Each structure stands twice: as C-alpha cells, then as structure tokens.
Amino acid sequence: MKEFQEIFLRYHALLQAAVYGSAVLLILIGLYAVLMKKHLVKIVIGLSIIESGVNLLFVAVGYISNHTAPIFSPGYEHAADKMVDPVPQALVLTAIVIGFATTALALSLVIRLYRHHKTANIEQLKSLRW
C-alpha cells in the first residue's frame, strides 16, 4: 500500500498531464474544426468532440486517488469515507444526454439546409446574411 502511494506521488505530474492534457487537447481540436472547416457536417463533428472533452474534464476533477466507485454494494455499506466524489458524475450524466439532443437537432437542421439550398458549404449560404 505504501509503495503505491510513493509510485503515485512520483508519477503525479505525468498523470495530471495525461488526463487534464488530453481533455484540454480534445477541446482545442474540436474548436479548430468548428472555426476553420467549411462543410456543415464537419462543424457538427467538431461540436461533438468539444462536448466529449468537457465531460472528461468534469469527471477527472472529481477523481480521488485510491478511492472507489460511489456505490454501496453489500459488504461495503460503511465505506463512505473511501468513495469518489459523486456530484460531478451526476452532472456529467445529464450533460451527455443533453449533448446528444443538441447534436441530433443540429443534424436535422443540416439536412433541411441541404434540401433547400442544395449545398453544404457555409460560405455559399449567402441568403442567410443580413
């Protein structure tokens, strides 16, 4: 047990960079797709990747090292001191479902726009400008 603690303390910087770094990189990659790409479906793909990154960041903040999942199985009824934070998990549950609803609605708008304007390039949808 004690050697686990010292291994964790030694590689702590690497772990923090791995988990927080991959969440922040996901957000940046999705943001690049939203800002620079021209095809409508590619923009919605970028939106979906941003949402995945944000959810990962949330759950990673709630993790406590060497603790376990917040479920009181039979035999672990008094182990409440050794449990991970349950509040970010409840938030992320809601956020994943709402992200899926947003993506579905955005894609239905893409289908409708293509049906009307016959193009899926945002630079050619000129009639939407003021």
90 is a contact residue toward another protein (CB under 8 A): yes
Q: How far apart are alpha carbons 56 and 51 in whole angstroms?
A: 9
Q: How far apart are alpha carbons 15 and 21 in whole angstroms?
A: 9
Angle (CA) 47-48-54 rounded to 5° is 90
> Which of 2, 110, 128, 130 is close enough to bind another protein by CB under 8 A?
110
Site for another protein in 14-73 (CB under 8 A): 14-16, 18-22, 24-33, 35-42, 44-46, 48-49, 52, 55-57, 59-65, 67-73
84 is a contact residue toward another protein (CB under 8 A): yes
Find out whether 53 and 26 touch, Cβ atoms under 8 Å.
yes
> Which of 80, 127, 128, 129 is close enough to bind another protein by CB under 8 A?
80
